[in-house]
Structures are given as C-alpha cells and as structure tokens.
Amino acid sequence: MCFQVIISIIGLLLFGKLLEPLWGTKKLSKFVFIVNFSTSMCAFVTAIAVYYVTQQESYLYTPLSGFYGVLSGLLVGIKQLMPEMELSLFVLKIKGKWIPSLTALISIVVSFFMKDLVSYLNGHSLI
C-alpha cells in the first residue's frame, strides 16, 4: 500500500509539473477530480458486472483502488500536448507519444509476476 502511495505522489508531481503550466492549476485540479471519480465509478460498475456474470463473490471483495487512472490520464495529456518532446526516464529518453503505451505494457508484464498489482491494473485499462 505504501509503495502505491509513493508512486502516485511522485507521478502526480512529475506529470503535473509538465501539464500545470499549460492547463493552469484550476483546470488540472478539475481534471484530477473528474478522472479519479470516473475511474472509480467504472471500476465499481465493472466489479458488479463481473460478479453478476460469474456469481463469484470474490469480485465484490477485491480491493479496486488507487490513483493509477489519474496518472494514466496525465500521461495521455502529455501524449496529446507534447508528443515529440523527449522525456528522460532514468537512463532512457522516450518521446511523449510512447509513454502511455509503455506504461500499460509495463503494468501488464508486472501483473503476471505480482498478484497484488492485478487489482490496480484496472485503472490503466480504463483510460
């Protein structure tokens, strides 16, 4: 849980720093609120629908939470507003247009090896 909070805070600070000068503080805050609410509602409806289809109660009790939907939305914003800008990620330089796809790919690969992260994958797939 602490690991996810740290990633969420770092992601918001890094990606928000790029988009806030373009959008402004009010629009960025509105974006974060709307995307977080929408992602949560979609995850809730999906969990209920999967329960009705499978009749397995485990889908009702699986924790579906996180800030990854907002982080994915911010990445899509970077992709749309700065597609040719090269961003440094550790030792790699990646163009803005590839970051959302790369993040989704990494999330899927990691979810095969870490069972706890599967419940957080929903935020990436909804955006």
Segments in the chain below pLDDT 50: 117-118, 120-127
Using CB atoms within 10 Å of the CB of residue 118, give its burial: 0 to 12 exposed, 13 to 18 middle, 19+ buried.
middle
**Per-residue confidence (pLDDT) for residue 125, from 0 to 100:** 45
What is the model's pLDDT at position 102? 85
CB 71 within 8 A of CB 4: no
Query: Which H or E run contains 89?
Result: strand 86-89
Residue 1's pLDDT is what? 59
| pLDDT value of position 35 | 92
User: pTM to 2 decimals?
Assistant: 0.75
Which residues are registered as beta bridge partners of 86?
Answer: 95
Torsions phi, psi of 80, nearest 5?
A: -75, -35
